[in-house]
A and B are shown apart, each in its own frame.
Chain A
Amino acid sequence: MQLSKLQAAQTTTELYRSCMILSEEARSLLVQNEGMKRLGLNAQVLAAQTGEQGGALEVIVSEIGRLSRSIREVLGSLGEAAKFLSHSSIEVLHLSHLHSSYVNGWNLGIDPSGSVVYSATLESVRTRRRQHRTDLEQRLRAVSSLVEDLGRIAQQIPPVTTMIRIVVTEVRIRSVELLGTVDDLKSFHAHLDTKVEHMGHIRSVCSRYIQELDREDSR
């Protein structure tokens, strides 16, 4: 009994911790995406400075801007989802604690005269906890889809770097600055890939915790 209570508490605490990490990952990526926006602005300035030849850069500017906006959009939704997950997992933590204490009380014996109110309270806590877990599971599915979106956006970065290389080779304008942009984009891409992988991992860890809690609940 005690071990099971301890495991449930640990699992729920880990679930909460994972949700917090997910939230932090989304927040830090949002900050880094500002760098992407800066690259777009720099390219825009270069295009303006280069005059007529800068026309070739306009496509790049527009692509970087589009990617940056898409990333910001996905991260905004991820941030919202993470906020919900943090709040809901605290509730699950709290309700799990109440639940295990009520169950222990029930197992020790509640006199029949008070058992109706007691079992109703226990059932209400159980239902609320189940509902929160269902909400968590649904929101985690949304997170999965957002993380996949982010992965797809990340895959659109290499074509932009290729476009920049073509401009550098063909048009031969502002090569040093543009190659610097290519390096920055490549590094952001690698970083985004890592984050996407990490967030995907956290998401599956959260699902596993929820499954464990479901199993615990059904015992």
Chain B
Amino acid sequence: MKIHKLVEGPEHSWYVLGRDDNKTDSVIDTNEYLIRCNEESILLDPGGTEIFPDVVSAVSRILPVEQIKHFLCSHQDPDIFSSLPLWMGLCPQAKIYLSWVWAGFVAHYGHEYVGQFVKVADQGQRITVGKKEFHLVPAHYLHSSGNFHLYDPELKVLFSGDIGAALLPSSEDSLFVKDFHTHTAYMEAFHKRWMPSERARDHWLARVRELDIKYMCPQHGSIFQGADVTNFFDWFGGLELGSALV
């Protein structure tokens, strides 16, 4: 699994872990993001049980695993946090931020850890990791009915879950989007199929266009930076979405 330091501030840094060479082909490739804020860290969408060994091994090269005090579970899918009992075995005191909608469902991955769940209300909330504040940004129905992204106002990074996700061919494993136009071919089918609501999309776009974003980090595929963030918003805004297309 590759480890890349995405951006570094005076007191905290973002890391992206992904492009796992040990992963079997049947498992979709995912990006895990680790934000290290001195002695306290948050892991965003830690991934499924299949890739846990690689993720934990990669994380341990960045920090002692017990320094993870927070997890974000952006939505309920198995590739997001089916590794919950494995991580909680290592970090039993860590908080798990997730939509209130999914608390009872995610508990199926490990009911003994529900005491650590922070059930986030629909409007989102601000959370503190170390001394840094992050925003949990609502992204409901994109694609999950209870869905949150995370925004870092200081380093201007938006973790966007499945929005901006791309199913890359094996020949294309660049960490950052190189050519936006080419990249849309890897995103289009995914967004048309998985994002069910144009109304939800428009709400989300109105919300995130207000934010100052240098990096938009999806859970699958390449990261958008600079002008490609706006390029993505424009492209996504014009896309026809919804199950009616099937």
Listed in ascending order, the chain A residues whose CB lies under 8 Å from chain B are: 94, 97-98, 101-102, 104-105, 107-111, 113-115, 117-118, 121, 124-125
Contacts and interface: CB of A to CB of B under 8 A. Distances in A.
A117 B66 contact: yes
B67 to A, nearest CB: 8
Given A111-B60, A113-B60, 20 more contacts: A101-B52, A101-B53, A101-B83, A101-B86, A102-B53, A102-B86, A105-B53, A105-B57, A107-B53, A109-B57, A110-B56, A114-B60, A114-B63, A114-B64, A114-B65, A117-B65, A118-B56, A118-B65, A121-B90, A124-B89
B52 A105 contact: yes
Contacts of A111: 60-61, 64
B150 to A, nearest CB: 24
B49 A113 contact: no
A113 B90 contact: no
A109 B66 CA distance: 16
Contacts of B89: 98, 102, 121, 124-125
Interface string B90-116: 100000000000000000000000000
Contacts of B53: 101-102, 104-105, 107-108
B237 interface: no
Nearest to B85: A98
Contacts of A104: 52-53
Nearest to B24: A2
Interface of B: 22, 49, 52-54, 56-57, 59-61, 63-66, 83, 85-86, 89-90
A42 to B, nearest CB: 49
Binding site secondary structure of chain A: helix
29 contacts: A97-B49, A101-B49, A101-B52, A101-B53, A101-B83, A101-B86, A102-B53, A102-B86, A102-B89, A104-B53, A105-B52, A107-B53, A108-B22, A109-B57, A109-B60, A109-B61, A110-B56, A110-B60, A111-B60, A111-B61, A111-B64, A113-B64, A114-B65, A114-B66, A117-B90, A118-B56, A118-B90, A121-B90, A124-B89
Binding site secondary structure of chain B: helix
A110 B57 contact: yes
A124 B123 CA distance: 40
B78 to A, nearest CB: 14
Contacts of B22: 108
A110 B86 CA distance: 15
Given A114-B60, A117-B90, A108 B54 contact: yes
Contacts of B85: 94, 98
A117 B64 contact: yes
A4 B57 CA distance: 20
Given A101-B52, A101-B53, A108-B54, A118 B86 contact: no
Nearest to B52: A101
Interface centre among B54, B83, B86 (most CB of A within 10 A): B86
